[in-house]
Amino acid sequence: MQGEDHVTWGHAFPVRYLLGRVDAELDIEHWGRCADVEGLFVDPVPPPREVLTIRGCNPEGPWHDVIARPGEATRSLVTLEVAIWDEHQPQFVWDLVDTVVIAHWPNAADPGLVDIVVGTGVIEHAEVWWGAGPGTMPTQPRFEIHALTYRGGQTGACLGVDGLLVPRATPADTPLQLIGCEPDEPLLAALRDPRAWTTEWAALRALNRAGEEMARHMVRLEITDVRPSVLGAPLLDITLADGGDDDRPPLAARNIWETWYRGHPSTRDQWAALDTQGRTAWLNLTRRHSGGPDSTGGTHHLAGRYITDRPGLYCALGEALVGPGLNIGRGWDDLKDCLSGQRGVIGPLTLIWHDADIARRALGFPDSPDRSLTYFEEILQLLEHHRVNVVLK
C-alpha cells in the first residue's frame, strides 16, 4: 500500500497519517486515513529508583571495573539486563536502568564472589523470548546479567538479586487519538466489535506532504472511544488506549518531524544544531539508500565539526557516504552490516575526515571497561577493515 494512493481526499486539510494492519506476508492492509494524531510524541517516564543487592557475583562481570578500584568514588554501570534462565532459555527479564554501585563486599558464603548494592530503576519485560510472555520460575534458576552497550557489553552471573522479585505497579498507558479519521471497511468492522481487536497491532504511517511514508509507528488496536470528529462529519475521532508507549518519539521530535514533513532533506548538516536527543530523532527519520547498486571508489568528505556525540557521528557519516537524509547505520553493528553492501556504498574508497579531533575528544572513551580502544578508534578500525581509507584532517 503506497501513501500516494490515499493522500488525496475531499477536505480542506491534508492527510497526515495512514492506519493499516500488517498481514502475514508483511503487506499493509489499508484501514483508514487521518488528518492528524494527538498523543504520539511522549517523553518516557523513568521508573522509580530502587535499591537492590546483587548476591554472589562473579568478579569478571560488567562490574569488574568498579570492584577492581575499591578506594574510588561510586561508579555507574549504566544499564544492565538481568535474565533468569532455565536450562534452555530466559524465563524472566528485567532492565536495570541507570544503575549506580553504592557499595560492594565479599560474599559471606564464597569470598571469591562479591555482593553489590546498587541504586537503579527497574523495568520488567512483559514479553520474553520472542513474545512468548514470562514463563515459570525454574527449579534451579540461573541469573545472567548483561551490560547493554553498542557491542553487547560484558556478561556476568550471580546467585540472586534481593528486591528484584517483587510486584510493581504497571505504568498507565498513554492514550493516542486519531483526529479526523476516515475509516475503511476493516476499521469499521473493528469499531463495531472493538473487544475482538484489543490484542491486534496496526502500523500508523506518517506521511510527508508529497504522500510519501516518513515514519512508521506500531499501535495496539484497543479502541476506548469513538465520536464525531472535531473537524466535522463524516470524519471520526478515535481514541486508542495504548499508543505504543515504549517507542513513541519524544516531545523534542515534534519539530523535527515537521521539518521532514515539508520534504526530504536536500542539504547537509540540518541536524547539527540539535542536541543528542534531537539528533537521535533526526537519525530515526533517515532512510536506507535505495538508489541502485552500491557505489565504490572515489573520495568522500566527512564534515567533522559537528560530531560531538554518537548520533552526530552517524548523521554525518550517512550524509558523507550516501547523501542528506540517508543512512548507512545508526550504531556500530548496523554500520558494520551496511559497509558489507546493499546500503549504497562499499569499499574501497577514501574518506577525508575534516576536524577529526572534535570527534576524537567527544568519542575518546572505551564503550565498556573490557575494551582498550576508544569508540573513535573502533570506528576507524571498522571503516578501515571494510576498505575505507580514512584520512584525518
Share of the chain above pLDDT 90, in %: 53
The pLDDT tens digits for 7-36 are 889 899 999 999 998 776 667 888 999 999
Name 347's Cβ contacts closer than 8 Å, sequence gap at least 6.
296, 339, 386, 387, 388
Name 64's Cβ contacts closer than 8 Å, sequence gap at least 6.
154, 369, 370
Q: What is the Cα Rg of the chain in Å? A: 24
Share of the chain above pLDDT 70, in %: 89
Cell numbers representing residue 77 in the block: 554501570
| Cα 221 from Cα 134, distance rounded (Å) | 22
Name 152's Cβ contacts closer than 8 Å, sequence gap at least 6.
146
From the list 185, 207, 180, the residue with the least C-alpha distance to 3 is 207
Q: How confident is the model at residue 291 (pLDDT cuts 50, 70, 90)?
A: low
Taking domain 266-392, whether its CATH number is 3.40.50.1820 is answered by: no
**Domain residue extents for the chain:** 3-38+172-247, 49-162, 266-392
Whether pLDDT at 244 is above 90 = no
- Amino acid 269: pLDDT: 94
Question: Under a CB-based contact definition with an 8 Å cutoff, are residues 243 and 224 in contact?
Answer: no
**pLDDT higher at 87 or 151:** 87
**pLDDT higher at 249 or 242:** 249
SS3 of 36-99: EEECCCCCCCCCCEEEEEEEEECCCCCCHHHHCCCCCCCCEEEEEEEEEECCCCEEEEEEEEEE
Question: Under a CB-based contact definition with an 8 Å cutoff, are residues 274 and 265 in contact?
Answer: no
| Cα 267 from Cα 4, distance rounded (Å) | 24
Q: How confident is the model at residue 294 (pLDDT cuts 50, 70, 90)?
A: confident
Neighbours of 377 (CB within 10 A): 15
The pLDDT tens digits for 146-194 are 887 645 566 789 999 999 999 888 877 889 999 999 999 989 988 998 8
- Average pLDDT of the chain is 87
The pLDDT tens digits for 28-60 are 888 999 999 999 999 888 899 999 999 999 988
- Amino acid 64: pLDDT: 81
| Cα 21 from Cα 14, distance rounded (Å) | 22
- Amino acid 130: pLDDT: 45
The pLDDT tens digits for 313-322 are 999 999 999 8
